[in-house]
Amino acid sequence: MNQPQKAFASQADLDEKKVSFTKLSDNAYAYTAEGDPNTGVIVGDDAVLVLDTQATPVMAQDVIRRIREVTDKPIQYVLLTHYHAVRVLGASAYQPQQIIASQDTYDLIVERGEQDKASEIGRFPRLFRNVESVPPGLTWPTITFTGKMTLWLGQLEVQLLQLGRGHTKGDTVAWLPQQKILFSGDLVEFDATPYAGDAYFSDWPATLDAVAALKPEKLVPGRGAALVTPEQVAAGLQGTRDFISDVRASVEAGVKAGLDLNAVYKQTMAKLAPTYGHWVIFQHCMPFDVTRCYDEMTGHRDPRIWTAERDIEMWKTLEG
């Protein structure tokens, strides 16, 4: 008897999430929504920096409303921690003077921004509410950097750092060294499944070591609740590291045994579901994660571009 095919990606995910706006210090806030993509807010002496924008300008208005409850300073800067559409397409709502990203992120937008946009909107309709509010074209950085850039918001030092490849090759974190607060983007997740469809499995654990070496006392992950003690930060780092390592170990074993992608996927799902199956978007992420890891373990050093068509083809192969 045929099993009914699962709804593609997160198309059946329609439940609204409760939003929290958590104060980490007088300068740092986390906009979180039960495992939906987070937005970070840094309030300096004279201006505001927003990290990751929400998926549409209409959704970004809720972030702006929360910011205006705590400050009337101008939102001058938007930081894109990486290139994914769900992180960048709301940028126009903030009317920033500058949009900052790593040069690697800029290069990825050039290379695959259009395809990624179409792919993500198809996967996750709830996260792209009012998608018609997104201006035509892509979200382009106006400032890029390589390795490290420091912004001074008055007396507040904000370090923008590339600590290594992980979630993408362009990953950028924001670090407040005076307060030991880190905004990690999707390099770190908490009780939420890391999306690794564009990842570097071989590099990610060492990048997490570089995050840990900063000794953050508070951390805003890409998804999940803000981590407000060193113990919670350590748990977030360890959970992300364990997941990435466990996917890689399972896929690597399957490749060495000569199994095809379909068999490797089923085996990896069976191994990981007891530990991680309760995490947000586990069912959504795993086909993409295993496919990318299988690619990496079979010679595709860099992630292949996801298109809306490739998404559906992959899903049918693994979940059909």
Delineate the domains of the chain, giving CATH numbers in brackets: 20-319 (3.60.15.10)
Mean pLDDT of 187-210: 98
Residues 6 or more apart whose Cβ sits within 8 Å of residue 242: none
pLDDT of 240-277, one tens digit each?
999 999 999 999 999 999 999 999 999 999 999 999 99
Q: Residue 66 is encoded by which pair of tokens?
A: 């929360």
State the pLDDT confidence band at 3, using cuts at 50, 70 and 90. Answer: very low
β-bridge pairing 48-51 and 36-43: antiparallel
CB-count exposure of residue 41 (10 Å: 0-12, 13-18, 19+): buried
pLDDT in tens, 219-245: 999 999 999 999 999 999 999 999 999
Predicted local confidence at residue 151, as pLDDT: 98
Residue 138: the pLDDT is: 92
Q: Please, which pLDDT band fits residue 34 given cuts at 50, 70 and 90?
A: confident
Dihedral angle sign, alpha carbons of residues 52, 55, 57, 61: negative
Amino acid 1: pLDDT:
40
Backbone angles phi, psi at 239, to 5 degrees: -60, -45
Q: How confident is the model at residue 9 (pLDDT cuts 50, 70, 90)?
A: low
**Rounded distance between C-alpha atoms, residue 221 and residue 182, angstroms:** 9
| Helices and strands: H and E segment counts in the chain | 8, 12
